[in-house]
Amino acid sequence: MEAKSLLSGFQLNQTNPLYQTSKEHQYTKFPYQNWVSFKPHYSTKLFSQRVGVNFSLKGKNNVDDKLDNVVCVGDDDSVVGIRRKKLAVFVSGGGSNFKSIHEACVKGLVRGDVAVLVTNKPDCGGAEYARRKDISVISFPKTSIVPTGLSSMDLVTALRNLEVDFVLLAGYLKLVPVELVRAYPKSILNIHPSLLPAFGGKGYYGMKVHKAVIASGARFSGPTVHFVDEHYDTGRILAQSVVPVLANDSAEELAARVLHEEHQLYVEVTSALCEERIAWREDGVPLIQSKENPKQYY
């Protein structure tokens, strides 16, 4: 797709309003399981971004009523009254997480659609898959090797023109430009193949991560989904999934085990994101609202 058509008619979207609830969370770890369950208690304030909702709640007595009025669940367990979101996915390689997310969107497991793929390698497997599925592909950044790539500001303009709601990094190996981070606050996610903050930062990617985990003697690893800030792997953690590191694991064996969890975790988080089930605790920690029980967060 030509960049020109994506850059025309650019307008900034307005900031999504916030609504406020009151909850406090303690977590209980379950041994031999790869998840953490939160038991909610009333106290700490949570803030959740929602389109078209602007509640100012006073006191905890009316919190449950407000939540029930906002999140409407139909008989088929699909969320009613929330528009489908438009996603931009960034890849640098084969894009297996991108494929999982796209397939989940097509199957209706995610209330969103991949509007565009952004890549620094126009010939990578993820870009080829996108073209086969008639998904627009944007090259970024502009380099001597990729002269058709966009500048940072042109990229922001293109995504705004496509009305992209959220940006998902799925094996994108470049640092996201500050212009994009500031244009999409609390709306950019990345998945990393270790339990952050361990084994993260510049230089920790791909098989290098798994080799470092094994060399450290760590007994557990797994993917982390986190919000993106202006640095490598330092944004707020949203979700994690744990896998064992076995005594005789190779990096390849551990990578395969982690990748299997990545495909499930990223789809689940993307579903929550598109259904507007991300809440922010008052200390800045993001939590996911349970779809089955909207009064619980994890």
Please report, for the chain, the start and end positions of each structural domain, with discontinuous segments joined by +.
Answer: 88-288
CB neighbours (10 Å) of residue 228? Answer: 25
pLDDT value at position 24? 36
pLDDT value at position 81? 85
pLDDT value at position 61? 37
Name the pTM for this structure: 0.76
The residues pairing with 18 across neighbouring beta strands, listed in sequence order, are 49
pLDDT value at position 213? 98
Asked if 294 and 131 count as a contact pair (C-beta separation under 8 A), the reply is no
Positions in the chain short of pLDDT 50: 1-5, 8-78
pLDDT value at position 79? 64
CA angle 215, 221, 227 (to 5 degrees): 120
Torsion of the alpha carbons at 189, 191, 194 and 198, rounded to the nearest 10: -20
Is the bond preceding residue 141 a cis peptide, omega within 30 degrees? Answer: yes
Is the bond preceding residue 17 a cis peptide, omega within 30 degrees? Answer: no
pLDDT value at position 151? 96
The residue from 25, 102, 192, 226 that is catalytic is: 192
- According to CATH, the topology of domain 88-288 is Rossmann fold (3.40.50)
CA distance 267 to 239: 11
Is residue 192 annotated as part of the catalytic site, yes or no?
Answer: yes
